[in-house]
Structure 1
Amino acid sequence: MAVTLVWFRDDLRVSDNPALAAAAESGDDVVACYVLDEDTEGIRPLGGASRWWLHHSLAALTASLAELGVPLVLRRGPAGEVLPRLVDECSARAVVWNRRYGLVERTTDATLKAAFADDGLEVTSFQANLMFEPWEVTSGSGEAYKVFTPFWRACLSFRPPRRPLSAPDRLHGPAPASDDLGAWGLLPTSPDWAEGLRRTWTPGEAGAHARLDDFLDGAASGYKDNRDRPGVQGTSMLSPHLRFGEISPFEVWHAAQDHQDSSTAEDIRVFGSELGWREFSWQLLYFNPELATVNYRPEFNAFAWESSTRSELEAWQRGRTGYPLVDAGMRQMWEIGWMHNRVRMATASFLIKNLLIDWRVGEKWFWDCLVDADAASNAASWQWVAGSGADASPYFRIFNPVLQSRKFDPEGRYLVRFVPELADADNIHEPWKGTAPGYPDPVVDLKESRQRALSAYKALSEG
Structure 2
Amino acid sequence: MRLVWFRRDLRVEDNSALIEATKTGEPVVAVYIATPKTWQSHDLAPIQADLVARRLACLQQDLALLNIELLYLQVDTFSDSVEALQRLALSLNVTHIHLNREYEWNESQRDEELKSSIASTSIELIRHHDKCLFPPGSVVNKQQQYFKVFTPFKRAYLARFAAQPLMVSKPSVVESSDELRQHQLRYSPECSFDYPRKSSQAYPADTKTIRQLLRDFCNESVDDYHQQRDFPALFGTSKLSPYLAIGALSIRQCLARLYYGQQPPISAGREIWQSELVWRDFYQHLIHFEPKLSKGHNFVSWADNIQWHHEPDKLAAWQQGKTGYPIVDAAMRQLNQTGWMHNRLRMVVASFLTKHLHIHWHHGERYFMANLIDGDYPANNGGWQWSASTGCDAQPYFRIFNPMAQSEKFDAKGAFIRHWLPELEAVPDKFIHQPWLWPNVSSVSYPSPIVDHKTERALTLQLFKQAKDF
1-structure distance, mates of 2:37, 2:128:
25
Q: Which residue of the partner structure matches residue 16 of structure 1? A: 14
Report the 3-state secondary structure (helix = DSSP H, G, I; strand = E; otherwise coil) of the residue aligned with 2:52.
helix
Specify which of 336, 350, 353 is matched with residue 352 of structure 2.
350
Could you give the per-residue CA deviations for residues 403-460 of structure 1, whole angstroms, max 9, x where no partner exists? Answer: 1111111122211222222221122111111145122211111111111211211222
Q: 1:419 to 1:169 in 2, by over 3 A?
A: farther
Q: Is the 8 A contact 1:62 1:71 kept in 2?
A: yes
Letter in 1 for 2:170: S
CA shift at 1:18, angstroms? 1.9
Other structure's SS at 1:237 match: coil
Shift of 1:280: 0.6
Q: Hey, what's the Cα distance between the residues in 2 that align with 1:161 and 1:444?
A: 53
Q: Which residue of 1 aligns with 2:243?
A: 241
Pairing partner for 1:336 from 310, 335, 338: 338
Instruction: Evaluate the alpha carbon distance shift between residue 23 and residue 187 of structure 1 in structure 2; reply closer, same or farther with a 3 A threshold.
Output: same
Work out the CA distance in 2 between the residues paired with 1:401 and 1:137: 36
1:230-270 deviation digits (Å, cap 9, x = unpaired): 11111111111001100110000111011546796221111
When structure 1 is superposed on structure 2, of 381-390 and 285-294 the one drifting more is 285-294
Q: Structure 1 residues 141, 53: CA separation in 2 closer, same or farther (over 3 Å shift)? A: same
Residue 132 of structure 1: aligned partner: 134
Give yes or no for contact 1:42–1:104 (8 Å, CA) kept in 2.
no
Cα gap change, 1:43 to 1:241, in 2 (>3 Å): same
Match of 1:307 among 310, 319, 325: 310
Shift of the alpha carbon at 1:210?
2.4
Indicate whether 1:458 and 2:465 are aligned. Answer: yes
Matches within 5 A, 1:180-195: 182-188=191-197, 194=199
Matches within 5 A, 1:72-151: 72-77=70-75, 78-151=80-153
Q: 2:5 aligns with which of 1, 4, 7?
A: 7
Report if aligned partners of 2:36, 2:194 keep a CA contact under 8 Å in 1: no
Give CA-to-partner distance per residue, 1:270-328, whole Å, 9 cap, x none: 111111100110111111223151011111111111222x2211111011111111111
Matched with 1:405 is: 407
Corresponding letter in the other structure for 2:46: G
* Distance change >3 Å, CA 171–CA 332, structure 1 → 2: farther
Post-superposition CA distance 1:99-132 (Å, at most 9, x none): 2112222222233235435422233222221101
Cα distance change on mapping 1:151 and 1:319 into 2, 3 Å? same
Gaps of 5+ in 1: none
Counterpart Cα distance in 2 of 1:259 and 1:411: 37
Give SS of 1:429's match.
coil
Residues 344-370 of structure 1 show CA distances to partners (whole Å, capped at 9, x for unaligned) of 000000000100000101001001010
Verify the 8 A CA contact 1:148 1:277 in the aligned structure 2. yes
Structure 2 match to 1:433: 437
- Equivalence for 1:202: 204
Change (3 A) 1:359 1:161: farther
Q: Which amino acid aligns with 2:114?
A: L
Instruction: Report the alpha carbon displacement of residue 171 of structure 1 after superposing the two structures with TM.
Output: 5.7
Mean CA deviation greater in 77-86 or 115-124: 115-124
- Given residue 71 of structure 1, which amino acid in structure 2 is its aligned partner? E
Could you give the per-residue CA deviations for residues 62-110 of structure 1, whole angstroms, max 9, x where no partner exists?
2222343333111122221011011012111221111211222222223
Q: How does 1:219-230 map to 2 (within 5 A)?
A: 219-230=221-232
Normalized against structure 1, the TM-score is what? 0.92
| C-alpha distance 40-220 of structure 1, shift in aligned 2 (>3 A) | closer
AA partner of residue 7 (structure 2): R
Take 1:120 and 1:302, find their aligned partners in 2: how far apart are those partners? Answer: 51
Aligned residues: 453
Aligned to 1:232: 234
Q: For 1:440, what is the secondary structure of its paired residue? A: coil
Aligned counterpart for 1:254 among listed residues 232, 253, 256: 256
Task: Tell whether the 8 Å contact from 2:166 to 2:252 is kept in structure 1 after alignment.
Answer: yes
Alpha-carbon distance in 2 for matches of 1:171, 1:439: 64
Counterpart CA distance in 2 for 1:227 and 1:250 is: 22
Aligned partner of 2:371 in structure 1 is 369
Q: Distance in 1 between matches of 2:171 and 2:252?
A: 14
1:387 Cα deviation from its structure 2 partner: 0.6
The amino acid that maps onto 1:183 is S
**Structure 1 pair 259–328 and aligned structure 2 pair: CA distance change class (3 A):** farther
Change (3 A) 1:124 1:280: same
Match of 2:24 in 1: 26
What is the aligned partner in structure 1 of residue 59 from structure 2?
Answer: 61
Residue matched to 1:214: 216
1:48 corresponding residue in structure 2:
46
SS at match of 2:293: coil
Question: 1:113-168 CA distances to partner (integer Å, 9 max, x unpaired)?
Answer: 35435422233222221101111111222222110000111112234363111243
Once residues 214 and 284 of structure 1 are traced to their aligned partners in structure 2, the CA distance between those partners, rounded to angstroms, is 31
Instruction: Please state whether the residue corresponding to 2:125 is helix, strand or coil.
Output: strand
Aligned-pair Cα RMSD in Å = 2.1
